[in-house]
Amino acid sequence: MIKVENLYKYYPMGKEKYPALKNINLSINKGEFVAIIGPSGSGKSTLLNIIGGLDKPSEGKVYVDGQDIFKLNDARISKYRNEKIGFVFQFFYLEPTYTVLENVMLPLIFSKSNSRELKAKEAIEKVGLTHKIGNKGNELSGGERQRVAIARAIVNNPSILLCDEPTGNLDSKTGISIMNLLKALNKEGKTIVLVTHNLEYLSFVDRVIKIKDGELEVN
């Protein structure tokens, strides 16, 4: 369902161009849970952001469900991001003074108003935070904040979750609880692409893709 073909990404570096990604080719099947691992600066986030339509490639193509996503105009690429992709990051980006429910409802501005609260409540239930639904963002632990961020990422029922170091800011035990949650969402059918430099969590995934200096490593 995700196919990356001959992908290159160059960043300007003075008068030169710095290649952050070099000739990346990969396929990720529907329902797979894949980890992309590699050292800091190897291009993991760049690749994830391109798959999610947050950043554009310099060359190459990304197909999602057969659609070349960079052939979409700006309005349709936002629609692609909103409907098909959920993003989870290392930092949670919650509104600290909004409640859990309000934070999770934020992406639903385009949904019918009478279904917003129900959808948000369902997502909050899935991440196991119903008992904290009225608490404010700044009243939660790190693990709970990441659960809220995950609820917000799944509230539009995307088929793909792109997770960039979702455990990077959490202690090991809490990290494992977040990985268990991602695994449960994967078992429900979500395709998950996880970027991490933490090898501790690889037992949760179906497949590991290694990247180094912007290139895939063939095992």
Binding site for ligand ADP (CB under 6 A): 11, 20, 38, 40-46, 128-129, 141-144, 147, 174, 177
The torsion defined by the Cα of 22, 26, 31 and 36, in degrees rounded to 10, comes to -40
Q: Which is nearer to ligand ADP, 155 or 170 (CB)?
A: 170
The two tokens of residue 55 are 């950043």
Q: How far is the CB of 69 from ligand ADP (least distance, A)?
A: 18
Write down the residue that tokens 């539009």 correspond to: 156
Q: How far is the CB of 104 from ligand ADP (least distance, A)?
A: 14
Q: How far is the CB of 94 from ligand ADP (least distance, A)?
A: 13
Angle, helices 142-154 vs 113-126, to 10°: value is 130
Structural contact between residues 192 and 36, judged by C-beta atoms closer than 8 angstroms: no
Q: Which is nearer to ligand ADP, 43 or 158 (CB)?
A: 43
Residue number with the shortest CB distance to ligand ADP? 143
Q: What is the DSSP string of 63-108?
A: EETTEEGGGS-HHHHHHHHHHHEEEE-SS----TTSBHHHHHHGGG
Q: Which is nearer to ligand ADP, 111 or 177 (CB)?
A: 177
- Residue 144 burial (CB count, 10 A): 20
Q: How far is the CB of 20 from ligand ADP (least distance, A)?
A: 3
d(C-alpha 30, C-alpha 192), whole Å: 9
Alpha carbon distances (Å) from 88 to 11, 23, 121, 157: 24, 26, 19, 14
Q: Which is nearer to ligand ADP, 159 or 169 (CB)?
A: 169
Q: How far is the CB of 112 from ligand ADP (least distance, A)?
A: 28
d(C-alpha 84, C-alpha 124), whole Å: 19
Q: How far is the CB of 46 from ligand ADP (least distance, A)?
A: 3
Q: Which is nearer to ligand ADP, 79 or 122 (CB)?
A: 122
Q: Which is nearer to ligand ADP, 11 or 110 (CB)?
A: 11
